[in-house]
Structure 1
Amino acid sequence: MRKIVIIGPESTGKSTLCKQLAEYYNTVWCPEFAREYLSEKGMDYNYEDLLNIAHGQLELEDSMMQEARNGYYFIDTDMYVMKVWCEVAFENCHTWILKQIAQRKYDFYLLCSIDLPWESDGLREYPDPVFRKKLFDMYKDIVINSNTMWAEITGTDTQRLQTAITILNTIYKRK
């Protein structure tokens, strides 16, 4: 099973791309657990909440993987996202999250660019274009140094989907 993680700052089309890719490859995708957690708890989160979210994300990822088929499993968010979130919000990261980064292996990262406009949804925090660029650069540095294949995804939702499909079909020799 190829585990493909869609990564990047908030409001860059990660969930949309995950859903579209899962539909195209006739498989499942793992949503971002944080959205469910924060929708219930609210945005007044603390450092420990991020550890709870990380645990929930991995539990969801592991359970959804059982339903994946056709050789692909798309994951919206991984522990690198949790690391960045912890460091940006609290200038620290839980050791458990760092250990999960070292232990878990993925096959490919699709890094979503910040070229889509930021959209407020009640859960997003960073609309400032300069700060979005800083976050994007943090994610780009992560994927460059991850020892995992990756590609940057840009353009409209349709362009992003077509680019991702072309890349994955080329890498994995699928017609």
Structure 2
Amino acid sequence: MENSKIIKIAVVGPESTGKTVLCEQLALHYNTIFVPEYARDYFLTKNIEGHTKEDLNIIYEKQILSESKIVKQANRFLFCDTNLISGKVWADVVFKSAPEFISQNISNTDHDLHLLCDIDLPWVADEQRRNEYNRKEIMQMHVNELQKLGLNFEIIKGFDKDRVKNAIIAISKYF
């Protein structure tokens, strides 16, 4: 399928809000593929405790590179498990400012829609998650960033199949 016809949808939000599962389920529903979150693989081989802004530059450069490669295999939709919006919020929380790559590229995001996963799911701890107690603040930071950039977004709520159904309804409003 021709790349110009692919609709790119970023699934963003605070930690432990079901982004990866939602991407998987939406890709299955729409018979397409999704771009996994590169940071997950990156921190399997590197200690997350001492990460730097330079790590975020590497992570989000690779995330965008992955999108550009995988989009060629997509069928109408490409679901992206994170993008520069979440990268900027992450950097603002941890470092109080975004690294150069994110700052220079965030306004050029080419996602047609952002699905912002709400914090209505219970927190699930893992080795890479750090923000259990400020999820509400991080959620609002995502809203603020999306609004500031004038990007299309829908907040996705609900558990399990309801969350997927709500995402499908949101997508159908636009496409």
Identity across the alignment (%):
36
Q: 2:143, 2:161 → 1: CA distance?
A: 22
Among 5, 19, 27, the alignment partner of 1:22 is 27
Task: Report the counterpart of residue 163 of structure 2 in structure 1.
Answer: 160
Deviation at 1:55, TM superposition (A): 1.2
Q: Are 2:131 and 1:126 aligned?
A: yes
1:22-74 deviations in Å (ceiling 9; x for gaps):
000000100100000011112231221111111111111111111111x1110
State the AA in 2 paired with 1:157: D
Task: Report the counterpart of residue 56 of structure 1 in structure 2.
Answer: 62
**Segment of structure 1 superposing worse, 107-116 or 44-53:** 44-53
Task: Report the counterpart of residue 67 of structure 1 in structure 2.
Answer: 73
Q: Are 2:108 and 1:103 aligned?
A: yes
**Segment of structure 1 superposing worse, 144-153 or 73-82:** 144-153
Report the RMSD for the aligned CA atoms in angstroms.
1.2
Among 91, 97, 101, the alignment partner of 1:92 is 97
Distance 1:76 1:64, change over 3 A: same
> Could you say what secondary structure the match of 2:56 adopts?
helix
> Could you say what secondary structure the match of 1:151 adopts?
strand
Deviation at 1:95, TM superposition (A): 2.4
Give the TM-score normalised by the residue count of structure 1. Answer: 0.92
> Could you say what secondary structure the match of 2:45 adopts?
helix
Unaligned runs of 5+ in 1: none
Unaligned runs of 5+ in 2: 1-5
**Segment of structure 1 superposing worse, 99-108 or 9-18:** 99-108
Q: 2:142, 2:164 → 1: CA distance?
A: 20
State the AA in 2 paired with 1:167: A
> Could you say what secondary structure the match of 1:109 adopts?
strand
Deviation at 1:149, TM superposition (A): 1.8
Q: 1:170, 1:7 → 2: CA distance?
A: 18
Quick check: 1:5–1:74 contact (8 Å CA) kept in 2? yes
Q: How many pairs align?
A: 169
Task: Report the counterpart of residue 172 of structure 2 in structure 1.
Answer: 169
Q: 1:122, 1:4 → 2: CA distance?
A: 27
1:95-139 deviations in Å (ceiling 9; x for gaps):
2212211223211111100010110111101111xx110000001
Quick check: 2:38–2:62 contact (8 Å CA) kept in 1? yes
The equivalences for 1:141-160 within 5 A come to: 141-160=144-163
